[in-house]
Chain A
């Protein structure tokens, strides 16, 4: 199919004069990567809402225990108060020992978030350093690739279970087990990015123009990496929380007297037929957190893509 271009009237065109100042101006756009990223990110009300939700839930879970003065070890010796349905005194009801599920949920949220943050920071921190080295130091490539293949081929349950037995179940065991395999995935991701960025035309051009290394790193490389890392960190949090639930399911999670969302969900699950609210509330909070982090992470990754900056 051939389209014909209609005649364009000549009077629409006029010659442009050369203006040295204006030429300079187009050469220097008032483009800031970070401002654009945030502007794109904050354009969507959903992102704002979820980000606010994360901030509120995180703050609440860390602040609540400071003000609540609930002694979680305090077991109610009066069996009448065990397994109560939600009521005025206990808005989420009570568990099998008469403890208030509302309070438990906040404490649990704090533990789980803490776990997620620690894992995310460690994973991303180690992954970034290792990945950068992997990308820049060519000698390391063979070894790191082999390490990647090995870690990738050991089923993760092997790590989780073995470490739980060798180190005994606990907060740092879960952190170690998840990080021991988690970092390498991020490292490879970073490495691939570093390689592409390092050899990208604009960097070659920059080098040729004599841009100092510091500026190249801060302006040309880092922005790409930081956005990826923030996204990875955000996505690691729901993953860590999910892993803790899974570990609790196979009996190797945090000790049962530690209050975490994973433990609350697993205990609630056992009694679901009988006391559904014991599962419902912790689940709702957990879902709110994991979904928010997941969406925020993804939105941020979209926003941080310069192609989406218009």
Chain B
């Protein structure tokens, strides 16, 4: 242990004998692999950016360690009976601090939230995350944005930019007094709070913004902080140091005073650094878990999927219903074939690449993730009838069933002698991803496309072997294709795939976040299927504002959708294997937005947490969570 840390530890022990943090350490050292891009907290393309933004800026609400939405800079809030007007009361007297932890002359006021929204909605500021969903959420915001965008592109000539900017007054956000923020929504949105944990709703001090101009957030000096930490050091591709903000409104909850994040892109180095005591936590890849398990570090390895950054991300296989490959097109539009695929994919085996210990624990059969959406009684959406059974089914892999369905599909689609009906020989041109010749006869040719990284490549090889083994090489032949890094531009848009491995982030606490994008012509309907029945159910669910009614219909829609196998969801993101000195369940969790990345409440100990201790804490945590609902 380093001398400084030792002194601190000794001092801590002396002064805080009675405190709950007696065993705690007040520093946290970790690494980051994705380079931070800038400190402009409205634009956070990497998780590093998000982590820094979440800890240095506070919004109106945040997620606590159970994932509930709790007051942050807003003390309390009310909703109008029609569900359209949300009024937030701020904590008075809070000041921004600068990069040395000193109070600035600016107070955090309601105006700052108005300014924040004004900033993100100006196309000139290039905030990519300012999505259609958000624009349509707040009344008048979409029109305001489109006007500005049209003025910039020259489409709208009867309006000057200044006039368009002045129209912000029509947008549904206002600050009637210093400590009151009012949002007016365009439609009743019971899950509005889940939007407010996004970086788009953070405050910014106008006077400060005006003084720094374009330089806003290019360095730590060009920022003021409203969060639990301020940035005391920020060096590109090197190090980020966060120090506890002494003037923070919730300072009592901050036991870790210094957070040091080092840029170490190599995962192997990370583990070695942890073993040498240089880090408070290290994430482990599948192969590392396997190798360390036999060593003395084995007792410290555990995994807690719901705490992974990408837990709410669902991985699925997209099938191309309008494929240029006539053989696959004929097959994929046949429900029996889709079911054959659905049962033919061994999720456990595919997951072994990520999670060699408990490959079953990261299976996800539903589109909408669990632990994210709760109705008024605290019931998880994924426990609604229809979805619940699918969630509980575990590994759908069943070779016999898969072969049955495949036989049925063959009977319907071929003449029984190996010729596929209505398919003439041709060359399928997916160049530069792949090129295959189809002859209208079995084996069915299909092109599977994935990204080129090591695990994806292994998964592709494995999937190919799996399908060809399940249905026989005489019946199916999988060609593997890879894109460089842009799945949309290289694969989806030019339609160069039959089967594609893909995933999507989950945006806000409502099933619509995924399901409304999967309807006919929807934003992530990459397979280009169409099912009016599903579309109608989603439409119906969206019109309900009582959560339980809404979720019941959504659950029906999702069950129907999955039963007809339009996409094949199979895993959740992130295995979260780690060795860590951080006590689990002490820090926030959640599936969207940025406040889940807060270190608030985190307790760090001197020694790594053992897997045994994790299990105990986990049992206690879920008991506590149930009681809290």
Q: Using a CB–CB distance below 8 Å, which chain A residues touch chain B?
A: 73-75, 77, 79, 82-83, 96-97, 164-165, 168-169, 255-257, 267, 269-275
Contact = CB atoms under 8 A, between A and B. Distances in A.
A80 to B, nearest CB: 11
B452 A274 contact: no
B291 A165 contact: no
B349 A270 contact: no
Given A77-B466, A97-B462, A165-B484, A274 B287 contact: yes
Contact of B458 (A73, A96, A275): A96
Nearest to B456: A256
A79 B349 CA distance: 8
A168 B454 CA distance: 17
Contacts of B461: 73, 75, 97, 257
A257 B458 CA distance: 8
Interface string B148-187: 0000000000000000000000000000000000000000
Instruction: List 3 tightest A-B contacts by C-beta distance, closest first.
Output: A274-B291, A256-B457, A75-B465
Contacts of A83: 287, 290
A257 to B, nearest CB: 5
Contact of B432 (A96, A164, A168, A274): A168
B457 A257 contact: yes
Contact of A274 (B288, B465, B469, B484): B288
B287 A75 contact: no
B454 A267 contact: yes
A168 B352 contact: no
Given A77-B465, A79-B349, A169-B452, A257 B460 contact: yes
Contacts of A257: 457, 460-461, 480, 482
A287 to B, nearest CB: 21
A165 B485 CA distance: 10
B453 interface: yes
Given A271-B291, A273-B291, 6 more contacts: A74-B465, A75-B462, A75-B465, A257-B460, A271-B268, A273-B288
B334 to A, nearest CB: 26
Contacts of B347: none
A275 B287 CA distance: 9
Main secondary structure, interface of B, reads: helix
A267 B484 CA distance: 18
Nearest to B271: A273
A270 B454 contact: yes
B212 interface: no
A97 B287 CA distance: 11
A274 B272 CA distance: 11
B464 interface: yes
Contacts of A272: 268
Nearest to A252: B484
Contact of A256 (B267, B271, B291, B454): B454
Contact of B484 (A79, A97, A168, A269): A168
A273 B268 contact: yes
Contact of A77 (B349, B453, B480): B349
Main secondary structure, interface of A, reads: loop
Contacts of B268: 269-273
20 contacts: A73-B461, A73-B464, A75-B462, A79-B349, A82-B352, A96-B287, A97-B458, A168-B432, A168-B484, A169-B484, A255-B457, A256-B452, A257-B457, A257-B480, A269-B268, A271-B268, A272-B268, A273-B268, A274-B288, A275-B291
A143 B453 CA distance: 42
Nearest to B466: A77
Contacts of B482: 255-257
Nearest to B458: A97
Contacts of B469: 77
Nearest to B294: A274
Contacts of B272: 273
A256 B457 CA distance: 7
A256 B267 CA distance: 18
A203 to B, nearest CB: 51
Contacts of B291: 271, 273-275
Nearest to B482: A255
Given A79-B349, A79-B352, A270-B267, A256 B465 contact: no
B470 to A, nearest CB: 10
Nearest to B460: A257
B545 to A, nearest CB: 48
Nearest to B463: A75
Contacts of A270: 267-268, 287, 454
Contact of B453 (A74, A165, A256): A256
Contacts of A256: 452-454, 457, 482
Contacts of A267: 454
A74 B473 CA distance: 12
A77 B462 contact: yes
Contacts of B290: 83, 274
Nearest to B457: A256
A264 B345 CA distance: 28
A73 B448 CA distance: 14
A262 B530 CA distance: 45
Interface in B286-305: 287-288, 290-292
Contacts of A75: 458, 461-462, 464-465
A271 B466 CA distance: 25
Nearest to B285: A270
Nearest to A267: B454
Nearest to A77: B465
Interface in B505-521: none
Nearest to A167: B432
A255 B268 CA distance: 22
A256 B480 CA distance: 12
Interface in B420-464: 432, 452-454, 457-458, 460-462, 464
Nearest to B292: A274
A269 B267 CA distance: 11
Contacts of A275: 287, 291
A177 to B, nearest CB: 15
B284 to A, nearest CB: 10
A269 B454 CA distance: 12
A269 B457 CA distance: 17
A168 B432 CA distance: 8
A271 B480 CA distance: 25
